[in-house]
Amino acid sequence: MSQFARRSLILFLTLAASLRCMAAQDEDIAALEEQSMTAAVARVAPSVVRIETVGGMDRIGEVLLGDGPTTGLIVDSDGFIISSAFNFLGKPSSILVTLPSGKRTPAEVVARDHSRMLVLLKVSSDEPLPVPEAVPLQEIQVGQWSLAVGRALDAQRPNMSVGIISAKDRVWGKAIQSDAKISPSNYGGPLTDIRGRVLGVLVPMSPNETSEIAGAEWYDSGIGFAIPLEDINRSLQVMKQGKDLYPGLMGVALKGGSIYSRPAEIAACQIKSPAFEAGVRAGDTIVQVDGRPIQRQAHLKHALGPRYAGDTIHLVLKRGEQNVEADITLVETVVPYEYPLLGVLPQRDSAGAIVVRYVFPDSGAADAGIMIGDRIMKVNETEVTDAPSLRVLLASLEPQQNVEVMVDRDNKQISATVTLSSQPTDIPTSLPATRQTIAQADAKVNTGFVEVKVPEHANACLAFVPANYRPEVPHGVVVYLRRPGEFDKEALLSRWRHVCEASDLIFLAPQPLDTERWMPTEVEFVQKTIEQVIANYSIDEARVVLYGEQAGGALGFLSAFRNRELARAVVAIDAAMPVRLRVPDNDPVYPLAILLTQAAESRVAERVEQASEQLRAMKYPVTILPVQSAQTLNEDEFGRIARWIDMLDRL
């Protein structure tokens, strides 16, 4: 054997030995990790209880609740157990808890945390109930091991899913995020570290919605959340007294736009709100909360997200060139906001001016003598040059307040005192033309049918752009969410073509992936189709309406409530709001109008009535349209809906 061959053989044997050694080390490390995880689960297991519920509902909208066991975590040796609110959505008639000894005992709900979606239970037991050790918040690090533990699958042996901490301060400062598999099989159970200490309690959550089922669609997806146990312990004494916890509100609305780029400038401050009583006013910009700098609206959401009603915060606000300070005690609810009406519709092709197209009968504008053709110059000494700027001004006012309006009529300036009124819910029998001039098609813009593609979604989507579209005339968007079944685009267009041309509308028809049903998760797809149309065409954001039939109507409510910055109206044809969908507060910056059809023989007639009462209680303008058939609209009924959509840009 040559010297080169001997050296090569020695090198090969050395490398082989090194690789065997490394493989053995990897096996040793893997074995040690497995042992550590097993020991961690064994340490926390005595504090993890199995919960069984009896009776109640088995479905919330499209979400099946199931009737299997769930999980809870002992947080106090006196018999207090914390769990996820998701586990009790069905309003069970009785609750049974299996204690560490195996004994089953009744439990009762003591209190709920409506901010972090938790429920506190109480059992009576003489046996010792071990309380787990909480990981201090400052020790939680992104990238560390996390174990999601539940006791839903086996009463004797906890189920476990392994992951890492992928983020902290998620869901606006309320949760830890883990990529472990988190689902109903471990909701209410602990998320532990490798030593068996509890990082937090597992719950479904979403940064975009606050209902008890928000985030449940992400189960087992690698996106899961846990409420830090240290935060739970901080509010435990209050909950043990039977007091529910609620998110803290101060009663302001911020200017529209991206929350990640815009400062926290206040567009409206509700009268009688704690913020208003503390001296906060529209136009102020929040620059500090409890000494924490606030540069963007997202920073404010992070600062306020963890706060409860009853907490007091210290604000620093920028008002002109001065800083103003205010102490505000947050509240559970504020008086529902009602958007006021001046009483006019604007012409849509009067750039740089607000020219009155229509005056609503019995409105403040009508009583003050404002006429069609008047040019609105000032409101309360503030110059207004377009409809959006006037809407911002009106957002800080309320019905029954008086405003001074200056109009130009035949080159004469006339002042009038207008008493603002509530939003109209009646539909006019007719409306004048939307433009002063006859529209000509823009040859540079694609009109007719246009395919809308969203790369990350397999769903199809069509848009119809009327031939008389002109970029200088902002158009509304009708987002048509069809009922289950076949989609006949030609028949649909034959009904909508004239409406789109006469009322300056683009028709958008996103399609469900399954032709027989809409899924709640398709809200994101609908959102992205609207965003594409807004990016490619001149859109009047005051006239974006979600028009849904049956299941499409339910999706319309869900989409509108989740995407307040996009939608200004919902038309629900033979549809009611999804069960347990939380109605958000009426937003001064993002107003929302509702039209519900009501047919005597409809299977959802009772729920439509309940929805209208709930929405009206929150001061949303709701129009109920009686129809002859729940299945189809006649020409008169359809025409009334078209006119209702045409008056969405009212001032």
Distances in Å between the Cα of 155 and the Cα atoms of 52, 100, 459 are 11, 10, 42
Q: How far lies 460's CA from each of 296, 486, 529, 620, in Å?
A: 36, 14, 10, 32
Q: Which residues pair with 548 in a beta bridge?
A: 481, 572
Taking the C-alpha atoms of residue 203 and residue 73, their distance in angstroms, rounded to an integer, is 12
Task: Name the token pair of 84.
Answer: 């996820």
Write the single-letter amino acid at 53. T
pTM of the model as a whole: 0.79
The residues near 277 (Cβ < 8 Å, ≥ 6 apart) are none
- pLDDT tier at 581, thresholds 50, 70, 90: confident
Question: Which candidate, 308, 183, 180, 192, places its Cα nearest to that of 250?
Answer: 308
Q: Which two tokens stand for residue 24?
A: 């053995």
The mean per-residue pLDDT over the stretch 369-392 comes to: 93
* Domains by residue range for the chain, with CATH: 47-240 (2.40.10.120), 252-329 (2.30.42.10), 344-419 (2.30.42.10), 448-646 (3.40.50.1820)
**Paired tokens of 400:** 């029954």
Q: How confident is the model at residue 22 (pLDDT cuts 50, 70, 90)?
A: low
Judged against a pLDDT cut of 70, whether residue 231 lies above it is answered with: yes
- Going by C-beta distance under 8 Å and a sequence separation of 6 or more, which residues neighbour residue 558? 520, 523, 578, 581
Low-confidence winner among 7-16, 490-499, 607-616, 636-645 (lowest mean pLDDT): 7-16
**pLDDT tens digit sequence for 309-368:** 999 999 999 999 999 999 999 999 888 889 999 999 999 987 778 999 999 999 999 999
pLDDT in tens, 151-192: 887 777 888 889 999 999 999 999 999 999 888 888 999 999
Lowest mean pLDDT: which of 54-68, 280-294, 433-447?
54-68
108 CB-side CA count, 13 A = 5
Q: Considering Cα of 515, then 520, then 521, then 523, what sign does the dihedral take?
A: positive
Tokens of 113: 């945390």
- The span from the CA of 183 to the CA of 333, in Å, is 31
Which amino acid is present at 607?
A: R
Residue 421 DSSP class: B
pLDDT over 90 at 125, yes or no: no
Strand 593-598 to 569-573 pairing: parallel
Cβ neighbours of residue 402 under 8 Å, at least 6 residues apart? 417, 418, 419, 420
C-alpha 360: how far from chain center = 33
Place of tokens 């998620």: 170
Sort 284 into a burial class: Cβ within 10 Å, 0-12 / 13-18 / 19+.
buried
**Statement: residue 417 has pLDDT above 90:** yes
The structure tokens 């919960």 sit at: 51
- Give the span between the Cα atoms of 138 and 636, in whole angstroms: 64
Check residue 255 and report its DSSP letter. Answer: P
Tokens 């297991």 belong to residue: 45
Compute how many other C-beta atoms are within 10 angstroms of the C-beta atom of residue 30. Answer: 10
DSSP 133: P
| Apex 228 CA angle, 226 and 230, nearest 5 | 160
